[in-house]
Amino acid sequence: MAECGVPVLFSFSSFSRASTVPAGSGHEVLIQKFLSLYGGLIGIHRKFVIQLESPEWGEYIDLPKGFVVTERCKLRLVSLQVPMTSLGNLVASSTVFFCCDMQERFRPAIKYFGDIISVGQRLVQGAHLLGIPVIVTEQYPKGLGSTVAEIDVTTARMVVPKTKFSMVVPVVEDALNEMPGVQSVVLFGVERLARTGSIITTSEAILLQLVADKDHPHFKEIQSLIKASAPESGLLSKV
């Protein structure tokens, strides 16, 4: 007899996805389900808790001890704070680069756009040298144009057209789920995420941390990329 599936709405951060789990699924099964749905997004978090929507309280509550799924319900995963010592630790094999909406029509509208292009160029080139996947998005390219010609996206893992004001659209989520080892995302382009806990840093710091040692086989090539100083627009001090 086929195992009965129970519908569950799984939520993480601002994302939600309806799915099913076998009746009687407990904490471990639910954790694995969350990882299969959002593994690429929660990989940097070492600890998290599952919460259950409680009609009695009109709020989410921590999953009761011994809880098993018996009926339709809503669950959300809450990441606990990551110790600051673990943030910003980049390893090439567990890193993915996100290039956000570096499109032609933004050129006259975005301050420091030329400087942002220069940083994007060296990061994309560095990612290619180090074998780091690059995911590129383009906001409504029919109206706003493709990625600027100065940034070579021919080696990118994917170039995704979108209309949502976020890079994490379903096709990008699926790509991240196919890269379960991802621990870190390096975001560059037309974004400012300092207030959400992102670490603001420089392209030189990123690339040198990824090679880690002067004996790295690609150190000389990375060194040549960053030999010329990055633009000193004052952008970093303004975010």
Tell me if residue 54 falls in helix, strand or coil. strand
Residue 125: inside a domain: yes
Tell me if residue 145 falls in helix, strand or coil. coil
The verdict on 29 and 106 lying in the same domain is no
Of the given ranges (47-56, 75-84, 212-221), which has the lowest mean pLDDT?
75-84
Tell me if residue 204 falls in helix, strand or coil. helix
The verdict on 119 and 216 lying in the same domain is yes
- Residue 81 identity: Q
**Residue after which a domain boundary falls, among 81, 102, 137:** 81
Split into its structural domains, the chain has a count of: 2
C-alpha angle 181-91-209 in degrees, rounded to nearest 5: 160
The verdict on 121 and 204 lying in the same domain is yes
The verdict on 217 and 129 lying in the same domain is yes
pLDDT for residue 2: 43
Residue 65: inside a domain: yes
Range of the domain at 217: 92-229
pLDDT in tens, 22-57: 999 999 999 889 888 887 666 545 578 999 999 988
The verdict on 51 and 145 lying in the same domain is no
d(CA 220, CA 213): 11
The verdict on 51 and 143 lying in the same domain is no
Residue 239: inside a domain: no
The verdict on 76 and 130 lying in the same domain is no
d(CA 146, CA 144): 7
Helices (H) and strands (E) counted in the chain, each on its own, are 6, 9
Pairing of strands 158-162, 134-139: parallel
pLDDT for residue 195: 56
The verdict on 58 and 152 lying in the same domain is no
**Residue after which a domain boundary falls, among 23, 55, 81:** 81
**Residue after which a domain boundary falls, among 81, 107, 134:** 81
The verdict on 28 and 144 lying in the same domain is no
Residue 237: inside a domain: no
Task: Provide the CATH number for the domain around residue 17.
Answer: 3.10.20.90
Residue 86: inside a domain: no
- How does residue 134 score in pLDDT terms, banded at 50, 70 and 90? very high
Looking at the chain, the whole-number percentage of residues with pLDDT higher than 70 is 86
Residue 17: inside a domain: yes
Of the given ranges (88-92, 147-151, 165-169), which has the lowest mean pLDDT?
88-92
Residue 151: inside a domain: yes
Pairing of strands 184-189, 95-100: parallel
Residues 17-29 as b/e (b if ≥16 CB within 10 A, e otherwise) read eeeebeeebeeee
Task: Provide the CATH number for the domain around residue 100.
Answer: 3.40.50.850
The verdict on 75 and 96 lying in the same domain is no
The verdict on 106 and 222 lying in the same domain is yes
The verdict on 134 and 107 lying in the same domain is yes
